[in-house]
């Protein structure tokens, strides 16, 4: 099991850690700031700094089989250091922070569009949610205006926990039909934007919606009968 530093502090850019295991998939550390692919959010990339000062590129981060197990995938051809080696695990922070901003924006989007979410994906320059809704009900201008109003309002973003039983008693909390929250640990990670959105989510988010910055709706298109895709991104970049 890996101590998930990002879960308590999404803003931690680096941490001291120790390599505990190495295999064909990658490295396991005793603790990490690297978020593994999940919930539509990509795994982090970055570097491990060895005691010699040498740096190893981490190309991707994925989940292991066990709960809270994180595997750091080294760039192809990189010889892995031995278990026991102390390292500094350092994120590609610019990329991760973009994920945090767009991920938080998707929570706002799920509140703006009143329909079940059938899927979603986040990248560093754009993100989308798929909704089970009629195309005619998706107004690009209205969605964009409402998103930016919520962003500008400076809503607080608060991660927390909810018990399995409490979650089972409130099935409407689960908006995303394609991603069932993980059960069996007695509690589920939850993300609250008071007055705006509340749902199970294990991703990384900004502390305040204002950090997202101005966004645009790049496009809205049909990806199938139950998938109407709304793609958003930063106003400063292009799709
Ligand atoms: Zn989230």
| Whole-angstrom distance, CA of residue 57 vs CA of residue 45 | 8
Of residues 186 and 106, which shows the higher confidence score?
A: 106
What is the distance in A from the centroid of ligand 1 to the CA of 205? Answer: 6
What is the distance in A from the centroid of ligand 1 to the CA of 25? Answer: 26
Whole-prediction pTM: 0.93
Taking every pair of Cα atoms in the chain, the longest distance, rounded to a whole number of angstroms, is: 60
- Tell me whether domains 3-91 and 96-234 share a fold: no
What is the distance in A from the centroid of ligand 1 to the CA of 20? Answer: 29
Question: For the chain, what are the domain ranges?
Answer: 3-91, 96-234
What is the distance in A from the centroid of ligand 1 to the CA of 60? Answer: 20
Residue 195, phi then psi, degrees to nearest 5: 85, -5
What is the distance in A from the centroid of ligand 1 to the CA of 104? Answer: 6
Q: Does residue 227 register a pLDDT over 50?
A: yes
CATH number of the 3-91 domain: 2.40.30.130
Q: Does residue 182 register a pLDDT over 70?
A: no
Of residues 199 and 206, which shows the higher confidence score?
A: 206
pLDDT category at 181 given cuts 50, 70, 90 is low
Per-residue pLDDT of 127-142, as tens digits, reads 999 999 999 999 999 9
| Whole-angstrom distance, CA of residue 51 vs CA of residue 176 | 43
What is the distance in A from the centroid of ligand 1 to the CA of 201? Answer: 5
Of residues 183 and 229, which shows the higher confidence score?
A: 229
CA dihedral 89→95→96→98, nearest 10 degrees, is: 160
Q: Does residue 23 register a pLDDT over 50?
A: yes
What is the distance in A from the centroid of ligand 1 to the CA of 41? Answer: 9
- Residues 6+ positions from 120 with CB-CB distance below 8 Å: 40, 106, 127, 128, 129, 130, 176
Q: How high is the mean pLDDT of the chain?
A: 92
Residue listed under structure tokens 């754009």: 126
What is the distance in A from the centroid of ligand 1 to the CA of 55? Answer: 31
For residue 47, give both structure tokens.
């570097």
| Whole-angstrom distance, CA of residue 64 vs CA of residue 121 | 20
Given a contact cutoff of 8 angstroms between Cβ atoms, the answer to whether 109 and 131 are in contact is no
CATH 3.30.980.10 fits 96-234, yes or no: yes
Q: Please state the rounded mean pLDDT for residues 175-184.
A: 63
What is the distance in A from the centroid of ligand 1 to the CA of 204? Answer: 6
For 137, counting Cβ atoms within 10 Å of its Cβ (0-12 exposed, 13-18 middle, 19+ buried), the class is exposed
Angle, CA of 161, 121 and 211, to the nearest 5° = 65
What is the distance in A from the centroid of ligand 1 to the CA of 107? Answer: 6
For residue 198, give both structure tokens.
């509340």
Query: DSSP letters along 95-137, please?
Result: HHHHHHHHHHHHHHHHHHS-S-EEEEEE-SSEEEEEESS-GGG
**DSSP secondary-structure letter at 10?**
T
What is the distance in A from the centroid of ligand 1 to the CA of 108? Answer: 10
CA torsion sign, 110 to 122 to 181 to 153?
negative
What is the distance in A from the centroid of ligand 1 to the CA of 79? Answer: 34
pLDDT of residue 239: 47
Per-residue pLDDT of 43-80, as tens digits, reads 999 999 999 999 999 999 999 988 889 999 999 988 89
């Amino acid at each position: 099991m890996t101590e998930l530093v990002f879960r308590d502090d999404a803003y931690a850019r680096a941490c001291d850690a120790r390599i505990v295991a190495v295999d064909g998939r990658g490295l396991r550390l005793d603790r990490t700031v690297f978020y593994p692919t999940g919930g539509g959010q990509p795994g982090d990339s970055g570097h491990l700094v060895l005691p010699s000062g040498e740096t190893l590129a981490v190309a991707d981060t994925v989940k292991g089989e066990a709960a809270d197990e994180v595997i750091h995938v080294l760039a192809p051809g990189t010889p892995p250091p031995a278990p026991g080696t102390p390292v500094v695990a350092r994120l590609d922070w610019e990329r991760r922070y973009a994920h945090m901003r767009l991920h938080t924006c998707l929570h706002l989007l799920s509140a703006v569009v009143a329909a079940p979410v059938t899927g979603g994906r986040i990248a560093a320059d754009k993100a989308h949610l798929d909704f089970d809704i009629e195309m005619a009900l998706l107004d690009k201008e209205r969605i964009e205006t409402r998103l930016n109003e919520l962003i500008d309002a400076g809503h607080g973003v608060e991660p927390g926990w909810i018990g399995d039983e409490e979650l089972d008693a409130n099935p409407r909390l689960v908006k995303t039909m394609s991603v069932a929250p993980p059960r069996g640990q007695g509690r589920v990670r939850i993300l609250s934007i008071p007055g705006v959105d509340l749902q199970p989510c294990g991703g990384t988010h900004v502390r305040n919606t204002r950090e997202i910055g101005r966004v645009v709706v790049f496009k809205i298109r049909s990806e199938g009968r139950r998938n109407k895709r709304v793609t958003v991104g930063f106003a400063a970049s292009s799709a």
